[in-house]
Structure 1
Amino acid sequence: MNDLSMAKTAPQARFDVDAVRRDFPILGQQVNGKPLVYLDNGASAQKPLAVLDAMDRYYREMHSNVHRGAHTLGDRATSAFEGAREKVRAFMNAASTREIIWTRGTTEAINLIANGLAQRLKAGDEILVSQMEHHANIVPWQMMAERTGAKVVPVPVTPAGELDLDSFNSLLGDNTKILALTHVSNVLGTINPVAALVEQAKARGVITVIDGAQAVPHFQPDVQALGCDFYMFSAHKLFGPTGIGALYGRAELLEEMPPYQGGGEMIERVSFERTTWNTLPYKFEAGTPAIAEAVGLGAAIDYLDGLDREGMQAAEDALLVRANELVETVPGMEIIGTAKNKVPVMSFKIEGLHPSDIGTLLDQQGIAIRTGHHCAMPLMDFYGVPGTARASFAFYNTMEEVEQLFTALQKVQRLFA
């Protein structure tokens, strides 16, 4: 009897995953002679035909620079570009497109905010971050702290991979000026109680910055309901193209902040005596933007809007349930991050095996996962490991692929027995 058959089977959610998979041409290929099982979605998700076609159509039919163009192609490009901004606004439920800034991704967005808020910081001020943050939500704040004399203060996590709320309550104090927090951990899959934490921070006048990179592939954020001052994500994790992301910022704060870069588009008037800035959102968008990529992101949002989002989330939850059931079939396997509320991300280690060996041997069986520290070295230090293997699931993954993963892990383990 196959080892996997001994584990209880989770009920399959009612979601037509086979139809969805046909929308993603990359999933139909073979890798090392095996059907591709793509479980590295937390690093970058695959793109549906709708996104590929939209970007191709842009280049074939309307490519031109945006704004100020006195011709038809310029008008078409501008309409598509600004139309994509409106789609992002609606996706995040921002109050206005003035509050949606195009960036190269989450990392640039956090750097933009950190740079803009530096003028508010002074020696003795504190920037509260969590121990589970991606380096992109640690390093920019460290750089600003060095410039201003402020201090980055980490909030511990529990062994289960949840934010230590007692520590958070004790650390959030009069010196706290900024709270920078991930909505969802890229390593643990933990969904943080962002709305409640933001409410506590706002009561003390703390500015709140939420990294939504790992959240948006699984559920829509509502920035007005969350109450945060800033929220950002990367398109390539939302089934869109690389090289672009979006930043939501509360208009009052964006108006107050200095520009991040100088050059074309972000100006109102330039003279050798004085330059004045453009209005929002263009004040923060120097130079020619990633127009095709914005169009692609808009198409990704349209594609997701056309899916049964409730069924999609149920299907993802079922994948994680099944994966957790199958852990018992791999002796010595330990899950890193067992929070009660999490997205379908499974970081793990197997006794006696190095994560990089696991990843290489799985790849030989056509299975793509990620290994290493996942740009979260402080979190690895907390768990006392150099890194983990990580399988991250998306709505186009299947129960069969989950079982293929664990069959392959059993083979890997036998190689080292």
Structure 2
Amino acid sequence: MSVMTKPAAATPKRGRKLPGWAIGMLGVAGAIALLSTTSYLTNFPQLTSSGTTQTAVRLALPILLAGLGGLWAERAGVVNIGLEGMMIMGTWGAAWAGYQWGPWAALVSAMVFGALGGLLHAIATVTFGVNHIVSGVAINLLGAGVTKYLSTLLFFPVSHNPRESPPVPKFDTYSAAGLTDWLATLENEQRVVLSDVAGILRGLLTGVSPLTMIAILLVPASYLVLWKTRFGLRLRSCGENPWAAESLGVNVYVHKYIAVIASGALAGIGGAALVLNPGQPGYLEGQTGGRGFIGLAAMIFGNWRPGGLLGGAALFGYADGLQLRSGGETVLALLYGAVILLGVLVILQLVRRKWFAAAFGIAAAVVLYFLYYSLDEIPSELTSYAPHMVTLVVLAVASQRLRMPAADGVVYRRG
């Protein structure tokens, strides 16, 4: 007697997923197309001008470096709310060494001071098991208090102002002279899309400092170390399941210490980026302006990955640079761009038959267009908070697709 078996159902083949770099390039192309369309329809070429792009790059650097610091710590399972305090320590360290020995000494000193803040955070959270949020808040308060005391002690006799340092020498900057001249000609011709791309490229290739190159290179370097090396695999395992990592022979304490100290060093370099910015004379009390927290938001927006973090830092830096360069009228033009973006998203939701999301998008687009139509410009009191408002909106939109490390913020005890 034979037994008849039912043939197994064929498994449907899924399409091959695009690699991360391809998705990133598509995102860049979409952003340029959106800005170009908005610039043309609103007659605000400042949206894609080389000056705006250059300012945005300089303002995005501290956010990017702080976000990389948060990435290293949280991939090892340690929440680092103290990035702001470590950046503050980095600004003071950069100014103290920079005005005496130059920009390279400023960079090294900022790294050391930030790493000291990371070491304190590691001792509190990893060794003594202090709540990560409580320790981070304490680091923020400590960084602000210590630097205020040190600036009064050491900067006041030189600059006669306890809230700022003497002028700090900056890095020399470099530009691709022949290429940027050609791009400037193309930008001034005001051709649709072509001049917009030329303006953005010119801004990226003009006035580039060694610190800018280092910050950009740290993004792929962090990816290669954390995702393509044995050390990186062990470090990330400490953030997913430290007890499983311990059972396989990983020294969890050592890897967490390395990650948090590296996190502080990166945040300190972010502080140096503020001091060495050509638009700043040197150290100023309160000059971080919450960028450590914005860097943390950029890391969350990037889903705890370096490529996404780079996009988030670029977004926040662009919002900050636009309001500094152009004021309320150009920021108002972004509302028109947001209406266009919402229109595209509504079409996608209708195709997917997600009626509630489409209706919500239509309502939001109507409100934004009403604001754009009824206002002449956004008040300066609001434009100065553009990066913070962008942070809130982006996190609200991106919150549904995020996945943090499983053991992030968990207090680990061996055994």
TM superposition score category, shorter chain reference = under 0.3
- Could you say which structure has the greater relative contact order, defined with CA pairs below 8 angstroms and 6 or more residues apart? 2
Q: Report the TM-score when normalising by structure 1.
A: 0.22
Q: Relative to total residues, which structure has the larger helix share, 1 or 2?
A: 2
Which TM-score applies when normalising by structure 2?
A: 0.22
Greater share of strand: 1
